Amino acid sequence: MNARERYVETLLFGKPDKVPLTPGGPRDSTRRKWETQGLAEGDKWHQTLWDMLGLQPESTQVHVPVGADFKIIPQFEEKVIEHKDGHYIVQDWMGAITEISDEFDYTYIRQARDFVTRKWHRFPVLNPQDFEERIKWRYNVDAPGRFPADFDERARALKERDYPVSVSIDGPFWQLREWVGMENLCIFMAEQPDWVMEMCNFWGDFVYDMLDRILDKIQLDSVHFSEDMAYKEHPMISPAMTRKFLLPQYLRWVGLIKSKGCPIVDMDSDGRIDLLIPIWIEAGINVCDPIEVAAGNDIVEFRRRFGKKMGYTGGIDKRAIAAGGDVMRQEVLRVVPPLLVDGGFIPSCDHGVPPDISWPNFIEYTKLLAQLTGWL
């Protein structure tokens, strides 16, 4: 099997020749720490690790990105408003006024290159008028730059690929939170539900139209929803609110995705998600990640409760990987063999790999994963 076939076969509870080996990826701070622990500076950690284990890469093809842009166009002007006391206050590309430590370049706000905490001073949308005037016109599917000029050429190149291709989109909770802020969103759900529903429907329409154009040209293997809608012990909103505001969009999107032949819809949320999984299953979502153990998630228990209605990626406690040795082995053996029996599982670190996971411990952990998933 090639990488694409193996990925789909695994997550659909089929019979792959072996399970994809995806131990997890480091952030910038993790890589810097690894370079003090044996990884040569500038080395591509993934290729170095594979070479050390005597493995060949799954795919030798140059990966072609889909290139469709779901972000606002045009973006807000990104600028530093103030820099003092070790912090930047920035207007970010989404229109929010945000504060971060000057330990980081303020452009870290654009993407999760590291484990960066932020403070929000103001969001771009405070009321329906802000939404009309500042946001809606920036989500034109036909805006210049929304699709790359060579999109048709990319689509043709992707027909012959041997690797899986996914498109990642913000779920309605994530996207509305970017516009109004989490606390405001929760208040608006209770006090201005009609307006929240209007924003959900607006985002749902935009994403639907984007996916429709992509899926007409490219046979995707998965679509990835980002929501991050749970804390350590509970979801950020109730299951009832999830059903009311979010489920209608999930149902629309999943219906389109699967009607176009894409087999996997993957929901990404940090935090404890057991109350949300039944709603995701109802929506037709069939994979979720990263299954954070510290939040009280137990992927083995989830398989007992939800059976083969849900597949998973992740699920290995990052704290155990950091401890290494017997602690790491016990955690990996607790999780991986029981789920591999059923399938529908790609084991990985239960979030981005943090810098307290040393390079030697990461090598040891990846080697054990490789043995269990059929690579060694």
Q: Which domains does the chain have, with CATH numbers?
A: 3-72+125-372 (3.20.20.210), 77-123 (no CATH)
Cα 156 to Cα 150: distance, rounded to the nearest angstrom: 10
Provide the 3-class DSSP secondary structure of residue 351: coil
For residue 119, what are the CA distances in angstroms to 85, 122, 178, 180, 237?
14, 9, 13, 14, 21
Q: What stretches in the chain show pLDDT beneath 70?
A: 112
Q: Compute the distance between CA of residue 306 and CA of residue 299 in angstroms, rounded to an integer.
A: 10
Confidence (pLDDT) at 104: 83
| CA–CA separation, 50 and 136 (whole Å) | 46
- The answer to whether the CB of 124 falls within 8 A of the CB of 94 is yes
Radius of gyration, alpha carbons of the chain: 21
Q: List CB contacts of 4: < 8 A, sequence separation 6 or more.
A: 161, 162, 163, 164, 165, 221
Closest CA to 368 of 345, 347, 344, 339: 347
Token code pair at residue 142: 């036909």
DSSP letter for 146, please: S
3-state SS, residue 369: helix
φ/ψ of 14, rounded to 5, equals -90, -150
Rounded CA gap, 194 and 1, in Å? Answer: 49
The two tokens of residue 193 are 């539900």
pTM of the model: 0.95
Burial of 244 from C-beta contacts in 10 A (0-12 / 13-18 / 19+)? middle
Q: Measured on CA atoms in the order 109, 113, 118, 120, is the torsion positive or negative?
A: positive
* Nearest C-alpha neighbor of 138 from the set 197, 94, 178, 97: 94
CB atoms within 10 A of CB 90: 22
Mean pLDDT of the chain: 95
Q: What is the pLDDT of residue 341?
A: 93
Task: Give me the DSSP letters along 52-73.
Answer: HHT---S--SPPPP-----S-S
